Structure 1
Amino acid sequence: MILQSLIAEFDQEANSTRKLLQAIPGKDIAYKPSPISWTMGELAQHIATIYYWYVGVLNQNVYDLAADRLERGEPGDINATLDLFEKNVEKARTALHATTEESLQDLWTMKVGDRTVLGPLPRKVVVRSFLFNHVYHHRGEMIVYLRATDNKVPGLYGPTYEESTVR
């Protein structure tokens, strides 16, 4: 059963994402590694926003990002981003639990206005790639941001290098 596996992974990984976002210090929220990079706050806000997209992926066959509006708050306010994350995780969890195995086979498309930017693809592929793997990619970036600013990185899959007793 694909759906039950996705739900279990979602719950485990949302907890890891929460730990990572909670590790972001306000003092470094404006840090960015290059002129074209997001700030740490913008990256955190993007990670929190991905959880909002579960609703559009799981409840619509064609999701138009241009037609959807999400109030995100100020990216320089990590507490606002943490609140956004928690609200979006609950929306995502509700959407996942309302999904059926059959609907995971349906074709799904993302548009920005008239332009198709993703799909059509089976919804289960979109959940895995656009939602799950997208978060994992940006969490990896956030770990680099935290290390570059001499901040502690929480262990997501066991102890981090800094926490390890075996080096």
Structure 2
Amino acid sequence: MILNYLTQEFEQEVKSTRNLLQAVPEKDLGYKPSEISWTMGELAQHIATIYYWYVGTLTQDVYDIAADELKRGDTNDIKATLELFESNVEKARAALKTLTEEKLKADWTMKVGERVVLGPLPRGIVARSFLFNHIYHHRGEMIVYLRATGNKVPGMYGPTYEDGKEN
């Protein structure tokens, strides 16, 4: 039952993430709100990359992120980031299909080399926090970046502020 809900949420939110990434203009990929912030291009690529992490999270009991290689491309090429996103979404869908309710209860750990950085925690908890909520967090950041650069924010949960201003 929970797995069915996660899968439905995944599909719904993929559409919202796609709309948001499609709203990122090439001209603003170098924008960053502060010295310690990512550029808009780096943030967009990070959002696309999180979908790749579904594979290691959902199919491995111990995921060593340092041993996992993903070719990401240029952060100054939004088309490349959108291609990365679409490719990673397909991989995430395939990983979701391998899940069972029992696997959601199983402990999962993330390592960077020999160092444990997350877990052990039940995989279902990790899916919600490290995957789903992590994407939502960074999408919120992207909305701030878009507004700060004068760009339109797409509606993800209904009309946006900008939609209301057009009426």
CA shift, 1:164, in A, is 2.0
Paired with 1:69 and 1:165, the residues of 2 have a C-alpha distance of 44
- Alignment of 1:162 with 2:162, yes or no, is yes
Amino acid at match of 1:11: E
- Alignment of 1:86 with 2:76, yes or no, is no
CA shift, 1:86, in A, is 0.1
Per-residue Cα deviation, 1:68-98 (whole angstroms, up to 9, x for no partner): 0000001111000000000000100111012
- Alignment of 1:109 with 2:105, yes or no, is no
Paired with 1:104 and 1:153, the residues of 2 have a C-alpha distance of 34
Paired with 2:64 and 2:141, the residues of 1 have a C-alpha distance of 26
| CA pair 99-155 structure 1, distance change in 2 beyond 3 A | same
Paired with 1:68 and 1:89, the residues of 2 have a C-alpha distance of 17
Amino acid at match of 1:109: T
For 2:139, the equivalent position in structure 1 comes to 139
Paired with 2:6 and 2:34, the residues of 1 have a C-alpha distance of 35
For 1:52, the equivalent position in structure 2 comes to 52
| CA pair 155-5 structure 1, distance change in 2 beyond 3 A | same
For 1:25, the equivalent position in structure 2 comes to 25
Amino acid at match of 2:124: K
Paired with 1:108 and 1:94, the residues of 2 have a C-alpha distance of 19
Quote the sequence identity (%). 72
Q: TM-score, normalised by structure 1?
A: 0.98
Paired with 2:30 and 2:165, the residues of 1 have a C-alpha distance of 33
Paired with 2:103 and 2:35, the residues of 1 have a C-alpha distance of 42
Amino acid at match of 1:112: V
Per-residue Cα deviation, 1:13-45 (whole angstroms, up to 9, x for no partner): 000000000000000000000011000000000
CA shift, 1:165, in A, is 6.4
Amino acid at match of 2:157: Y
Q: TM-score, normalised by structure 2?
A: 0.98
Gap runs ≥5 in structure 1: none
Aligned residues: CA RMSD:
1.2
For 1:65, the equivalent position in structure 2 comes to 65
CA shift, 1:166, in A, is 10
